[in-house]
Structure 1
């Protein structure tokens, strides 16, 4: 068992509780979930799949968008996240399946889903395998809607730069760790290609039999206070390296003290809408 001050993973109760609490106290996941649900065209859906659904932030938005008689199936590999979700989100239309996204097709009927939604998690998966699974699940004409963090996609919304009034909280965390703990940040090539650019996504979707309908770079606006709360979730805490979680929280508090709580913070996303063709 991991010690209490370890950085806990997605299948640890402490992290699942902290993550769910964040989604309820702050608008980021609710806003992105509602954006994806809107793009999925769920008004006439009978079945929607919440892929990598976690504790249910996206499921809440999907349930609000589908007809009263429709169903949602949430697929996630972390039982701890689903345990929290069962306690905090109860709806007879929602069913949960514990399985990796790559194996979703093993647990769901072929060609039945009107839409598959994946919020804030696709880059953590084997995307080629996930896209193939999604293509198997979707009905002809069904939509697959997901987002990719700007850093992974290699995109930046203009707002990310225009509203910045000083160093990012991540930059201040690194500076604090270097100054107070002798931290040596890992060297990364400034010209390293993004891990999941649109070109790669489009190619992998095409091989799976899915076509891109829309790709848009969006901006999620928040504050330094919300960013601090997000970085307090154990799995997101920084910096990486040989630190206890308690040390990371002390570094975070020191760095945050150098900011203004209501100072704007912007996160870029690449939002992709794909579709299984109506005919082969």
Structure 2
């Protein structure tokens, strides 16, 4: 069953517009999209799937790399996100399918895709179902490139250890919320394991008939200013709990005032490239 938070908030126009505006103004999603598209080896692709494609940031990167004759299909469950994408990305090679990612194989021909790319969303899906669906739609030898946030994968890039010391913006948000609103953060669970460590991912991929070709822990370099812009998107806003968006923005502004805008920040990612093994004669 798909987790309840899989599309919570995404199918709202306010979130979709704010998210799309962030992707246009800041490089984070463009950089990660281009990295995955490059790893998917799209030079000779005829059909590529942008899985959990949202408003089209990753589709744009894919379209820059595929041949002129190729088709790209962006699959996402949030119609509001796709409405923004349809308005801003009008390449005739791109089509949109509004459906849960887990139902990918209901919309793509069996063995018809040369590659599937999923940026910044795989951990919000039922990965067992996703991997089986991807295996069904990939041609033999086809590639599946996706990434997992470092916290979900339990990885940390060395650059993150070299980042300037001091509290993160998320930590400052919780501190301001506690000081000004009596907020009590949820208790940390001792010994809590990452949701999608590489061993789990590799096992699930193998169970679906997919083999891992390459993995890498990468670093996304940003600033406090970009982090603030990201946390201003309603669906990303903090802290958790019974706050209005206006209250969260007030807390965010107070927390951000305690930082230096150009302070570097580093986000870690686990990048995985798998494939459907070619047929053997």
TM over 0.5: yes
Q: Take 2:131 and 2:164, find their aligned partners in 1: how far apart are those partners?
A: 35
Q: Take 1:65 and 1:165, find their aligned partners in 2: how far apart are those partners?
A: 39
Q: Which residue of 1 aligns with 2:42?
A: 42
Give the structure-1-normalised TM-score. Answer: 0.96
Q: Displacement, 1:24?
A: 0.4
Q: Take 1:175 and 1:169, find their aligned partners in 2: how far apart are those partners?
A: 10
Residue 154 (structure 2) pairs with residue 154 (structure 1): yes
Q: Take 1:185 and 1:161, find their aligned partners in 2: how far apart are those partners?
A: 25
Q: Secondary structure at the match of 2:214?
A: strand
**Gaps spanning 5+ residues in structure 1: where?**
1-7
Mapping 1:106-255, distance limit 5 Å: 106-255=106-255
Q: Displacement, 1:164?
A: 2.5
Q: Take 2:240 and 2:150, find their aligned partners in 1: how far apart are those partners?
A: 20
Q: Secondary structure at the match of 2:147?
A: strand
Preserved CA contact (<8 Å) 1:63 1:72: yes
Q: Displacement, 1:190?
A: 3.7
Q: Which residue of 2 aligns with 1:3?
A: none
Q: Displacement, 1:165?
A: 3.3
Calculate the aligned-residue CA RMSD, in Å: 0.8
Q: Which residue of 2 aligns with 1:5?
A: none
The 4+ residue runs of structure 1 with deviation greater than 2 A are none
Q: Which residue of 2 aligns with 1:28?
A: 28
Give the structure-2-normalised TM-score. Answer: 0.96
Paired positions, count: 273
Q: Take 1:76 and 1:224, find their aligned partners in 2: how far apart are those partners?
A: 29
Q: Which moved more, 1:190-199 or 1:69-78?
A: 190-199
Residue 271 (structure 2) pairs with residue 266 (structure 1): no
Deviations 1:115-135 (A, max 9, x none): 000000000000000000000
Preserved CA contact (<8 Å) 1:139 1:276: yes
Q: Take 2:189 and 2:56, find their aligned partners in 1: how far apart are those partners?
A: 36
Q: Secondary structure at the match of 2:222?
A: strand
**Gaps spanning 5+ residues in structure 2: where?**
1-7
Preserved CA contact (<8 Å) 1:165 1:263: no
